[in-house]
Chains A and B, each alone.
Chain A
Amino acid sequence: AQSVSQHNHHVILSEAASLELGCNYSYGGTVNLFWYVQYPGQHLQLLLKYFSGDPLVKGIKGFEAEFIKSKFSFNLRKPSVQWSDTAEYFCAVTHGSSNTGKLIFGQGTTLQVKP
């Protein structure tokens, strides 16, 4: 079965530190890739997405992610985190040829940024 793995479950950083959250998926075909963010007490919001083209995608709030097909990875990065980035981050994948749109989510990574 397809799966998505997020290696870091809980990350604690100080403000201005750089961030990289790992995401690997197991499906070998064409994929659509997403990073969602959930701020405390809120619903999931889209940070960024990759469908095709340039493997380096930029999202909101200074986040970016790089799709490396050979490594089945879609890691999320931010050069300098802020306290307001404290949230839970989810990587998700769907097949490019899907006819159901089902997303497979990783377990999530909780990011805590200390002021």
Chain B
Amino acid sequence: NAGVTQTPKFRVLKTGQSMTLLCAQDMNHEYMYWYRQDPGMGLRLIHYSVGEGTTAKGEVPDGYNVSRLKKQNFLLGLESAAPSQTSVYFCASSSQRGNYEQYFGPGTRLTVT
């Protein structure tokens, strides 16, 4: 059981470039989430999904898009990266059966120059 995995671990982008972060979970969880973590601000929810084919906005969705074409994968896209998107991105998954305890991936450190 790998749990929650994220690809890539590190990335440096120039302003205006695009990229996709991949999150995969092998626990058959219905729910998946993307967070960003910035110093002194805790974790802020970007987007989330309650099932395959469904996504919803979180607290800070601007500048990001997501897709959940398969239950086990949740993709986070940056269409035109900005320096304000420099952050550490965490993916998590949970299930209703587990009372929504969230399991986190190892994170992706993104720097936008």
Interchain CB contact (< 8 A) of A90 among B42, B58, B100: B42
Which B residues touch A99, using CB under 8 A? Answer: 50, 96
B93-113 near A? 1/0 per residue, CB < 8 Å: 011100111111111000000
Within 8 A of A (CB), among B41-68: 41-45, 48, 50, 56, 58
Which B residues touch A9, using CB under 8 A? Answer: 40
Whether the Cβ atoms of B100 and A94 lie closer than 8 Å is yes
Tally of contacts, chain A with chain B, CB under 8 A: 59
Query: What are 20 sample pairs from A and B whose C-beta atoms fall under 8 A apart?
Result: A32-B100, A34-B101, A34-B102, A36-B104, A44-B92, A90-B42, A90-B43, A92-B102, A99-B50, A100-B48, A100-B50, A100-B56, A101-B100, A101-B102, A103-B33, A103-B100, A105-B42, A106-B42, A107-B40, A108-B42
| Distance of A1 from chain B, by nearest CB (Å) | 10
In the bound assembly, the distance between CA atoms of A33 and B72 in angstroms comes to 25
Chain B interface, number of residues (Cβ within 8 angstroms): 26
Which A residues touch B31, using CB under 8 A? Answer: 100-101
| Distance of B110 from chain A, by nearest CB (Å) | 15
Q: A42-B106, A44-B90 are in contact. Are A102 and B101 (CB under 8 A)?
A: no
